Amino acid sequence: MSTEELVKKLQEAASNYYKKEKEMHTTLSDLLLEISVLFPDCKDKNTPNWPKDWYAICDHTGIIAYFARESDAFGFRLSLINLRLNGMKTLTYYKKSSKKFS
């Protein structure tokens, strides 16, 4: 195999990898639609473990968390969206910034 052929194959592999990575990343608008806060009156017979008067957070897999206060539910939703968009670097940033204030 010549050097030119090898370079071409490597470029093709890199291009395919980039396309797959790009498809895997979700946009903010997608996540805002996917991750929802369900209000206490949304409870139905299919959710028997839902605590009375609590808010639920759900995504494509179903309910993932419950909160007693609406502000906590929306705060968790935003944190989860941020984590899915930015990955673990989000948690690292908060760790570093929290050391400054302690």
- Strand pairing partners for 63? 58
Say how far apart CA 95 and CA 62 lie, in whole Å: 29
R_g over Cα of the chain: 21
pLDDT of residue 46: 76
pLDDT of residue 61: 86
| Structure confidence by residue, pLDDT tens digits, 31-60 | 888 899 999 988 777 778 888 899 999 988
pLDDT of residue 12: 74
What is the reported pTM? 0.62
Long-range contacts of the stretch 56-63 (C-beta < 8 A, 24+) = 59/34, 59/35, 60/34, 63/38
Residue 102 pLDDT level (bands cut at 50, 70, 90): very low
Torsion sign over Cα 98, 67, 39, 84: positive
| Structure confidence by residue, pLDDT tens digits, 55-94 | 999 988 889 999 999 999 999 999 888 888 877 665 555 5
Q: Are 82 and 35 in contact (CB under 8 A)?
A: no
